Amino acid sequence: MAGRRPGPRSKKAEIEIARGQETRRAGGRPRREPIDGDRKLDRLAPIALILPAAGLVASCDGPQSALVPRARQAVEVAALFEWMAWGAVAIWAAVMLAAILAVLRPAMRGGSRRADRLIIFGGVVFPTVVLAVLLAAGLRLLPDWGDSPARLRVEVGGEQFWWRVAYARDDLAVPVRTANEIHLPAGEPVEFVLSARDVIHSFWIPSLAGKMDMIPGRVNRLLVEDPQPGVYRGVCAEFCGTGHALMAFTVVVHPPESFEAWLAAEARPAAPEALREGPPDAAAEGRRLFLDHGCGACHPVRGLVEAGDVGPDLTHFAARATLGAGLAPISRETVADWLRDPQALKPGARMPGYGALMSEAELETLADWLLELR
């Protein structure tokens, strides 16, 4: 704490200059003479740090933000974060105040005993208490699984690089299977049952709850209570391979009646117009391509082929908002692109490309047929 130390600070400012254009717009000039420029850069440093931060704050809103909580668990996490953040600000201010006082008034009255007491209290007792309180608050957020209030259980399996989803409830004879999109009834508690088959993934819907790892060989559970209607985004929050960054999903929280309608629709077999065998038209041709190329070896389409269970269930593929686990909106073009060369869109995707095995016209016919699977 021996006064101003221009060295490190000016270095930080240099980095900011190199990174952001804001500084230049705010009056910074291209660095010509490092020694001369140091003082000016020193003054600019706080602005250079604050401007990008302001940009970050503006992006805290949106469908994937832990700072805009939309379910009880997320509210608790956000509240804990706010306590922690403001507490940290207060502690930081106190430490800075102490540092300034130490500089302005080097000789402290009261001698070394008072200094010892300050160090023991401020350096040992206070941090211990703060960390213990934070630990207690964090542990309190862990759910008590003694009596789960949830009737609806959503089983989510992490896969490289997509999500296997099944809905289980006492009144459902068999779980309703789907993939890459999660629908929930607003206001009702939901229990996520999380697992993985290949590698460790992590299930995170920042707007609804904290993240939870999906670990091969074990089942983790996550409770979400009182979700508010809206459309949110979930992601894989644990690096799981080359396609990790493109492993997302949409979460739709419906009013309860419309959730029931959605669940009933999802439980039905594929749309009859997509299953029809003849007359020989585009739909029948798409169906033939799907079967002829063995797509059913991996993708179930209930009512047509249920042999394979390796890739995402496509029974109601076109009812989803996105393709390839949150990769792109579903359209004839994006579906045909995906069929042609999945690895070009998502590195490491397990699906083989069909660009060399089907003509462009066939790819489009198959894409059109997949769009019938509503």
Partner 1 sequence: MIRGPIRIRTLAWILAGLAVLAVVVFAAGLSPIGAAGGHSAAARWILHTAMRRSVAFHAMGTEVPDLSAPGLARLGAAHFESGCAPCHGSPAAPTGGAAQAMLPPPPDLAARIPLWTPAELHRIVDEGVMMTGMPAWPARGREDEVWAVVAFLRKLPELDAEGYRALAHGGPEGSSRGLALPADPPFADCVRCHGTGGRGPDDDATAPGPIPRLDIQPRAALEAALKSYAAEARPSGVMRHAAAGLDAATLAGLAARFAAAPRDPAAALDPAGVDETLLARGREIARRGLPARDVAACDACHSPRGERVRDVFPRLAGQRRSYLEAQLRLYTADPPVAGGPRAELMIQAARHLPAADAAAVSAWYASRAPAPR
Binding footprint of partner 1 on the chain (CB under 8 A): 197-198, 291-298, 305, 307-310, 350-353, 356-357
Q: Whole-number minimum distance, CB 307 to partner 1, in Å?
A: 4
| Cβ nearer to partner 1, comparing 22 with 198 | 198
Q: Whole-number minimum distance, CB 179 to partner 1, in Å?
A: 13
Q: Whole-number minimum distance, CB 73 to partner 1, in Å?
A: 30
Cβ-in-10-Å burial (0-12, 13-18, 19+) of 293 comes to middle
Using DSSP's 3-state secondary structure scheme, residue 160 falls into coil
Q: Whole-number minimum distance, CB 341 to partner 1, in Å?
A: 11
| Cβ nearer to partner 1, comparing 57 with 356 | 356
| Cβ nearer to partner 1, comparing 271 with 295 | 295
- Contact between 251 and 182 under an 8 Å Cβ cutoff? The reply is yes
| Cβ nearer to partner 1, comparing 73 with 365 | 365
Q: Whole-number minimum distance, CB 323 to partner 1, in Å?
A: 19
The sign of the dihedral angle between the CA atoms of 186, 192, 196, 197 is negative
The alpha helices in the chain, defined as continuous H runs, are 6-19, 22-25, 34-58, 72-104, 111-120, 126-141, 256-267, 272-275, 282-292, 332-340, 342-345, 360-371
Considering only the C-alpha atoms of the chain, give the largest distance between any 2 of them, rounded to a whole number of Å.
98
| Cβ nearer to partner 1, comparing 98 with 297 | 297
Strands 220-224 and 322-323: unpaired
DSSP one-letter code for 296: G
Q: Whole-number minimum distance, CB 293 to partner 1, in Å?
A: 8
| Cβ nearer to partner 1, comparing 143 with 296 | 296
Q: Whole-number minimum distance, CB 362 to partner 1, in Å?
A: 12
| Cβ nearer to partner 1, comparing 40 with 288 | 288
Task: Of 255, 240, 251, 245, give the one whose Cα is nearest residue 178.
Answer: 251
What is the three-state SS of 226-288? Answer: CCCCEEEEEEECCCCCCCHHHCEEEEEEECHHHHHHHHHHHHCCCCHHHHCCCCCCHHHHHHH
Using DSSP's 3-state secondary structure scheme, residue 53 falls into helix
